[in-house]
Amino acid sequence: VRELGGCMGPIWHSYYSECSALLFVVDASNPTQVSSSCIQLLSVLSAAPLASVPVLVLFNKIDLPCYMSLVEMKSLFRMQDIVSCATQPITMLETSARDGTGLADVLQWLRATLKDP
């Protein structure tokens, strides 16, 4: 497991060859970062080494009063278009790392995605 924050975007590609699954975390409480996050997601999805790597997009911080719902985030990201054009399977979940909401679903996704053949 590697955490690569947004400011590390320029070096993300150096980790792609080792990637079996990708968790892309978006701050759902920060509308000013939506366009930047979307651009980063599109960049990741278009990387050749990740063409078949399963992706879980996590809309995090749903515990905050100003969070945008999954419906709003999907609309802002144009997720329907992204999913239809992507070569890899994409799943989306809402989470709160603070209170644990959705984390069981994340673990379930990881278990199913990384299961032994």
Task: Give binding residues for GTP as ranges.
Answer: 60-63
User: If you write DSSP's letter for every residue of 51-98 in order, what string do you get?
Assistant: TT--EEEEEE-TTSTTPPPHHHHHHHHTHHHHHHH-SS-EEEEE--TT
**Residues at the annotated binding site?**
60-63
